Amino acid sequence: MSDEKSKVLFERAQRVIPGGVNSPVRAFRAVGGDPIFIASAQGAYLHSVDGKKYTDYVGSWGPMILGHAHPAIIAAITDAATRGTSYGAPTELEVTFAEKICELYPSIEMVRAVSSGTEATMAAIRAARGFTGRDVVVKFEGCYHGHADFLLVKAGSGMATLGVPDSAGVPVATASNTATVHYNDIAALEALFAARGKDIAAVIVEPVVGNMGCVPPEKGFLEAIIACCKQHGAVSIFDEVMTGSRVARGGMQQRAKLEPDMTCLGKIVGGGLPLAAYGGRRDIMQKIAPLGPVYQAGTLSGNPIAVSAALAAIAKLDDALYTHLEALGARLEAGMNASLRAHEVTGCVQRVGSMLTLFFCKGPVGSWNDAKDADTKRFGKWHRAMRERGQYWPPSQFEAAFISNAHTNADIDATIKACDEALAI
Ligand code: HOZ
């Protein structure tokens, strides 16, 4: 079976959409071959326009923790749509959503709904700057926090894939207020605070990185961020757009038993619709308009259909789900590691719960310095072989794969078998 229809669509797309895609990593440039155009998705599977079925480990880049087209979400969306698609006025749904988020994330005392992770991080930093009256933001090399100008500095995700450390179009003056440190480098973070502490408004971090592949924090790293911020009057921001309700119901902060000053959420808590949120300490969030002087607004913020989907998704996040995901993740990790060993391929699998990455380097990968040494050509070859075997893996060495609750042991075993064959090539 060929991918003829995808090919034709990609040709059409390239005439009218930059690179033929609405988000760069989807173009498959990092792995070779053209993107697969999707006709539909159900549970753990994607169905292409060419009639092929793939086991999906992208999960729309994270949100699909329940699997695709989950009946409870479809029902919530359908029901909400009959009452209108957007009001631009408050609803009870939004209040319930905010209450749920505060319940799941005890560090969040007040929360604002927005439409994307990019908006959430951008607004959280504006709030932190407004609160502290300072300009400098600290981020970690290889972490990606959406595409706001001042965060496109040494960013991971698509930027890493394309080998572009800093985006064109970002004024030097804007980028000059962003300081970067290596992930997991506590000494460098402390040195930066010692030198510039009084200028630092915020430190933003992916508490488990997903955007340079899955990179867990080393012991004490997240604690050090919170401690430095506390000591110097800066705001700690956990960007849990990926990890939120993924690595635990209450995100990485629940797993690590930590309370950052602010948190950014999206993906899972948005139920797979364009919904994200930022929130945190009451005294910081009270700076947001109309309570305070920090402006932020959005026509579709708190959209009733998106919030309905979100509430339906959140209701399904029980202990059984996380137990199942942990077991599936461990099974896949063990199977892939066994294949690496069997074929004597240099590689390592890094995993936190149901997010994981097979890095083609010795590992462990603790920062962008380690990640960039991964053999991306070898990854591309492996990815193409996986694709031929019906496995839809993120088309970049520097993106995490996600498992959903709809995956079964049989799916995982089929993926391990495909991985084994792909590593043998
Ligand atoms: N930057 C996103 C994942 N890290 C990709 C989003 C997309 O292409 O949909």
Residue 206: CB within 6 Å of ligand 1? no
Phi, psi values for residue 245, rounded to 5°: 55, 15
Residue 26: CB within 6 Å of ligand 1? yes
Which residue is catalytic, options 139, 261, 267, 392?
267
> Do 120 and 222 lie in a common domain?
yes
> Do 239 and 149 lie in a common domain?
yes
Give the up-direction half-sphere exposure of residue 218: CA atoms within 13 A in the CB hemisphere.
11
Q: Give the residue from 314, 348, 372 where a domain finishes.
A: 314
Which residue is catalytic, options 144, 183, 278, 392?
144
The CATH number covering residue 341 comes to 3.90.1150.10
The CATH number covering residue 261 comes to 3.40.640.10
Domain count, the chain: 2
Q: Give the number of the atom of ligand 1 that is nearest the alpha carbon of residue 60.
A: 9
76 touches 419 (CB < 8 A): no
Q: Which of 21, 23, 29 to mutate to test the pocket of ligand 1 (most atoms within 8 A of CB)?
A: 23
CA 111 – CA 113 distance, rounded (Å)? 7
> Do 308 and 333 lie in a common domain?
no
69 touches 272 (CB < 8 A): no
Q: Which of 25, 57, 118, 211 to mutate to test the pocket of ligand 1 (most atoms within 8 A of CB)?
A: 25
Residues 6 or more apart whose Cβ sits within 8 Å of residue 319 = none
Tens-of-pLDDT digits for all 425 residues of the chain?
789 999 999 999 999 999 999 999 999 999 998 999 999 999 999 999 999 999 999 999 999 999 999 999 999 999 999 999 999 999 999 999 999 999 999 999 999 999 999 999 999 999 999 999 999 999 999 999 999 888 888 887 776 665 555 788 888 888 889 999 999 999 999 999 999 999 999 999 999 999 999 999 999 999 999 999 999 999 999 999 999 999 999 999 999 999 999 999 999 999 999 999 999 999 999 999 999 999 999 999 999 999 999 999 999 999 999 999 999 999 999 999 999 999 999 999 999 999 999 999 999 999 999 999 999 999 999 999 999 999 999 999 999 999 999 999 999 999 999 999 999 99
> Do 264 and 164 lie in a common domain?
yes
3-state secondary structure the chain: CCCHHHHHHHHHHHHHCHHHCCCHHHHCCCCCCCCCCEEEEEECEEEECCCCEEEECCHHHCCCCCCECCHHHHHHHHHHHCCCCCCCCCCHHHHHHHHHHHHHCCCCCEEEEECCHHHHHHHHHHHHHHHHCCCEEEEECCCCCCCCHHHCECCCHHHHHCCCCECCCCCHHHHCCEEEECCCCHHHHHHHHHHHHHHEEEEEECCCECECECECCCCCHHHHHHHHHHHHCCEEEEECCCCCCCCCCCHHHHHHCCCCCEEEECHHHHCCCCCEEEEECHHHHCCECCCCCECCCCCCCCCHHHHHHHHHHHHCCCHHHHHHHHHHHHHHHHHHHHHHHHCCCCCEEEEECCEEEEECCCCCCCCHHHHCCCCHHHHHHHHHHHHHCCEECCCCCCCCEECCCCCCHHHHHHHHHHHHHHHHC
Q: Give the number of the atom of ligand 1 that is nearest the alpha carbon of residue 61.
A: 3
> Do 325 and 354 lie in a common domain?
yes
Identify the pLDDT of residue 160.
Answer: 66
> Do 362 and 285 lie in a common domain?
no
Does the annotation count 267 as an active-site position? yes
> Do 255 and 345 lie in a common domain?
no
Residue 161: CB within 6 Å of ligand 1? no
> Do 228 and 274 lie in a common domain?
yes
Q: Give the residue from 314, 333, 349 where a domain finishes.
A: 314
Residue 19: CB within 6 Å of ligand 1? no
Q: Give the residue from 279, 314, 349 where a domain finishes.
A: 314
Residue 236: CB within 6 Å of ligand 1? no
Identify the pLDDT of residue 41.
Answer: 98
Other beta carbons within 10 angstroms of residue 33's beta carbon come to: 15
> Do 40 and 164 lie in a common domain?
no
Residue 25: CB within 6 Å of ligand 1? yes
> Do 85 and 183 lie in a common domain?
yes
> Do 253 and 389 lie in a common domain?
no
Does the annotation count 295 as an active-site position? no
Q: Provide the token pair at 41.
A: 């998705």
CA 406 – CA 385 distance, rounded (Å)? 24
Q: Provide the token pair at 201.
A: 């408004």
55 touches 392 (CB < 8 A): yes
> Do 222 and 94 lie in a common domain?
yes
Identify the pLDDT of residue 150.
Answer: 85
Does the annotation count 198 as an active-site position? no
Query: What residue's CA is closest to ligand 1, atom 1?
Result: 157
> Which structural domain range is residue 16 located in?
4-69+318-424
Residue 116: CB within 6 Å of ligand 1? no
Q: What is the residue whose two structure tokens read 């959430």?
A: 120
Q: What is the pTM of this model?
A: 0.97
